[in-house]
Amino acid sequence: MLSVLSNATYRRLFLAQVVALVGTGVLTVALGLLAFDLAGSNAGAVMGTALLIKMLAYVGLAPVINAMVARLPKKPVLVGADLVRAAMALCLPFITEAWQIYVVVFLLQSASAAFTPAFQSLIPSVLRDERDYTRALSLSRLAYDMEALVSPAAAALLLTLISYNNLFLGTVAGFLFSAAMVMITTLPRADVVKGLTMSVWHRTTLGTRLFWANRRLRSLLALNVVVAAPTALVLVNTVVYVRDVLHRPDADLALALACFGIGSMVVALSAPRLLERAGDRRVMLTGAAVIPIALAGATVAILRASPEAGWWWLLGLWFLLGAGNSAILTPSSRLLREASTEETRPYVFTAQFSLSHACYIVAYPLSGWVGAAAGLGWAAFALTILAILGSAGAFLSWPRHSRYGRGQPETEEQSVEQSAKQRASGAR
**CATH number, position 23:** 1.20.1250.20
**One domain, residues 175 and 231:** no
Q: Which amino acid is at 306?
A: S
**One domain, residues 161 and 270:** no
Among 189, 222, 250, where does a domain finish? 189
Pick 261 or 48 by higher pLDDT: 261
Q: Within 10 Å of residue 94's Cβ, how many Cβ atoms? A: 10
| pLDDT computed for residue 424 by the predictor | 43
Euclidean distance between the first and the last CA atom of the chain, given in angstroms as a whole number = 45
Once rounded to an integer, what is the mean pLDDT over residues 305-334?
91
**One domain, residues 333 and 205:** yes
Range of the domain at 173: 1-189
User: Whole-prediction pTM value?
Assistant: 0.79
Pick 319 or 30 by higher pLDDT: 319
Would 333 be classed as within a structural domain? yes
| pLDDT computed for residue 411 by the predictor | 44
SS3 state of residue 248: coil
Share of the chain above pLDDT 70, in %: 87
Overall residue count recorded for the chain in this entry: 428
Give me the DSSP letters along 260-279: HHHHHHHHHHHHHHHHHHHH
Would 274 be classed as within a structural domain? yes
Give me the DSSP letters along 216-234: HHHHHHHHHHHHHHHHHHH
**One domain, residues 126 and 225:** no
State the Cα angle at 140 between 273 and 169, rounded to 5°. Answer: 160
| pLDDT computed for residue 381 by the predictor | 96
Once rounded to an integer, what is the mean pLDDT over residues 365-388?
90
**One domain, residues 166 and 225:** no
Task: Give the side-chain half-sphere CA count within 13 A for 313.
Answer: 19
Q: How far is CA 272 from CA 131, 132, 275, 285, in A?
A: 7, 9, 5, 16
Among 189, 222, 249, where does a domain finish? 189
**One domain, residues 183 and 219:** no
Distance in angstroms (rounded) separating the CA atoms of residues 162 and 368: 33
In the predicted structure, residue 142 carries a pLDDT above the cut 90:
no
SS3 state of residue 348: helix
| pLDDT computed for residue 330 by the predictor | 93
In the predicted structure, residue 71 carries a pLDDT above the cut 90:
no
Average pLDDT, the chain: 83
**One domain, residues 184 and 209:** no
Would 195 be classed as within a structural domain? no
Once rounded to an integer, what is the mean pLDDT over residues 28-54?
76
C-beta separation of 76 from 192 below 8 A: no
**pLDDT class of 130 with cuts at 50, 70, 90:** confident
**One domain, residues 290 and 172:** no
Would 307 be classed as within a structural domain? yes
| pLDDT computed for residue 27 by the predictor | 84
In the predicted structure, residue 54 carries a pLDDT above the cut 80:
yes
Once rounded to an integer, what is the mean pLDDT over residues 180-207?
70
The domain total for the chain is 2
**One domain, residues 32 and 95:** yes
Once rounded to an integer, what is the mean pLDDT over residues 376-400?
94
In the predicted structure, residue 350 carries a pLDDT above the cut 70:
yes
**One domain, residues 140 and 272:** no
Among 189, 220, 253, where does a domain finish? 189
State the Cα angle at 353 between 83 and 45, rounded to 5°. Answer: 75
**One domain, residues 213 and 161:** no
| pLDDT computed for residue 402 by the predictor | 53
Maximum separation of any 2 CA atoms in the chain, in Å? 71
195: left (phi over 0), alpha (psi -120 to 50) or beta: left
Share of the chain above pLDDT 90, in %: 34
| pLDDT computed for residue 195 by the predictor | 45
Once rounded to an integer, what is the mean pLDDT over residues 5-16?
90
| pLDDT computed for residue 221 by the predictor | 95
Once rounded to an integer, what is the mean pLDDT over residues 18-33?
82
**pLDDT class of 409 with cuts at 50, 70, 90:** very low
**One domain, residues 110 and 207:** no
Would 194 be classed as within a structural domain? no
Q: Which of 346, 338, 75, 343 is nearest to 197 (CA)?
A: 343
In the predicted structure, residue 423 carries a pLDDT above the cut 50:
no
Would 66 be classed as within a structural domain? yes
SS3 state of residue 402: coil
Q: How many helices (H) and strands (E) does the chain have?
A: 13, 0
| pLDDT computed for residue 193 by the predictor | 47
| pLDDT computed for residue 328 by the predictor | 96
Distance in angstroms (rounded) separating the CA atoms of residues 327 and 331: 7
* DSSP code, position 339: T
